[in-house]
Amino acid sequence: MGKIAVVTGGTRGIGAAISKALKAAGYSVAANYAGNDEAAERFRSETGIPVYKWDVSSYEACAAGLAQVEADLGPVDVLVNNAGITRDGFFHKMSPDQWSAVIGTNLNSLFNMCRPVIEGMRNRNFGRIICISSVNGQKGQAGQANYSAAKAGELGFVKALAQENASKGITVNAIAPGYVGTEMVRAIDPAVLEKRILPQIPVGRLGEPEEIARCVLFLAADDAGFITGSTISANGGQYML
């Protein structure tokens, strides 16, 4: 049996592409999702990838969900923290609920998901943890103080956890996508895409979910063992570090 991989938010958008790519590469994949039962069932029936429903903002739910995955498939070797939400609004109008929901799902979930698996990875002297951040965590974005803060926090988390676990054969890295052609992004008014978004991207197009998935495959592989604490910027040149 291949290595076991868990992908949060793994049944739609970028997460679905990651789940499919990992399965095609020989991993046994468990795809987590939060609430869209219809989409999750459709994904499961189309791909054969088992799906698991739990809220990544809850530590207890993550611990129970991961325990079930390990009972069904085996110990987790690869963890892809992809789940994320937006609750956009200018900060002077932002509610505590908008702030807390995004921080809970996008940032607190990193502790909730990594803590139950990290000791097992350390004991086995192998692990791959990959966090899907965002270009807006690197450069900031008006109307997304909550989202930008969470995604920037991911990058600090990755660097710290990478240092703690490098000697144990565990790598921890991030991918920071720019605008990717998911269902959500393609629903944006075409005029807004053409006039306001695409001009920001030097390559002149949206990214594809499969392009982010290929970054995940690279970082998850045994051959990427010398890369840790790093961020791959997959944004078409929109923001260059």
Nearest CA to 216 out of 32, 69, 15 is that of 15
Distance of CA 240 to the CA centre of its chain: 21
- CA–CA separation, 166 vs 115, rounded Å? 16
59 is catalytic: no
- CA–CA separation, 168 vs 75, rounded Å? 16
- CA–CA separation, 241 vs 50, rounded Å? 38
Buried b (16+ CB within 10 A) or exposed e, 125-151: ebbbbbbbbbbbbbeeeeebbbbbbbb
Contacts with 195 (C-beta within 8 Å, 6 or more apart), sequence order: none
In this structure, what token pair is assigned to residue 198?
A: 């695409």
Cβ atoms of 22 and 47 closer than 8 Å: no
Q: Which of 27, 52, 147, 179 is catalytic?
A: 147
Active site residues: 147
